[in-house]
Structure 1
């Protein structure tokens, strides 16, 4: 399904995308960040917070050195009250994701993984590779929502096409 090169590329893509969003979000007022724009999680900061929460949760499943978030999905949107606080944690987690991805070997992508899903209220088992694809797909999905909210404000959103990912990143 996937190989270690895919994992490294998507980790780089995630980091690149978030590094483009950070200054945009940090330049906005709290009112602009908090305004409900009709996205699944409401506004820009709440969506960015949920995405950071989800990434932290998934990374805690892939890398035991990452501590899972204490809160559940309902509280995921309020992890950080400001874009600056969000950006600091986002930067740190993106570094951890890239470090983890750099160490993934082909054998690490084989087999199943099992975890307790709070959202489903039960234990879940699926192939490791499928869980990793979901992890990166979830990021892209919510960044897409952020992109729509930014363009809906009349602003220019960052480039998001994968083929523009810098090679020397």
Structure 2
């Protein structure tokens, strides 16, 4: 279904896009960052918080590390301080990059069984599907953030995967 090279590329893409969105977030007034924009997680900051929360949750499933303490319902309020969010986002992106650096093709074979905090039940799916979902979930919510930033009058950078810098 997917390859280790795909995972490494998507991890690089994730970090590149997050850095670009953090640059725009720095330029936003706090009220613009937290304004309810009628997105599923409300605001730009709420959606960014949810995405960070979900990345940490999925990484705990993939590598056995610590899951976030917050519930899915609390995910949009993960951080109330922008700098703490930035620090956590950068640590999480580095964690993702370390994880993919250690992947082998065999790592992507077989089932992943985990407790879904959203469905409140045990789920078992192919690892490759879960990893694909992980990267797709990131892209989905960053697209929402990009649209909200654009609507707020800011111009986020390119999001096209083909423009991912080679040295990123």
- The match for 1:138 is 137
* Paired residues for 1:45-64 under 5 Å: 45-64=45-64
Runs of 4+ in 1 over 2 A off after TM superposition: none
Gapped regions of structure 2 (runs ≥ 5)? none
Which residue of the partner structure matches residue 99 of structure 1?
A: 98
Q: TM-score, normalised by structure 1?
A: 0.97
- Structure 2 residue 154 is the aligned partner of structure 1 residue 155: yes
TM-score (norm 2): 0.98
Structure 1 vs Structure 2 CA RMSD: 0.8
Q: How many angstroms apart in 1 are the aligned matches of 2:6 and 2:121? A: 30
Deviation at 1:154, TM superposition (A): 1.7
Instruction: Check conservation: 1:26, 1:84, Cα contact below 8 A.
Output: no
| DSSP-derived class of the 1:123 partner | strand
- How many residues in Structure 1 have an aligned counterpart in Structure 2? 168
| Counterpart Cα distance in 2 of 1:27 and 1:37 | 18
**Corresponding position of 1:166:** 165
Question: Partners in 1 of 2:153 and 2:28 — Cα distance?
Answer: 13
- Give the match for residue 9 of structure 1: 9
Gaps of 5+ in 1: none
Query: 1:110 matched to which residue of 2?
Result: 109
Deviations along 1:76-121, whole A, 9 cap, x unmatched?
0111112221111000000000010011100000000100112111
Contact between 1:30 and 1:82, CA under 8 Å: does it hold in 2? Answer: no
Q: In the alignment, what sits opposite 2:81?
A: 82
Separation in 1, partners of 2:53, 2:149? 21
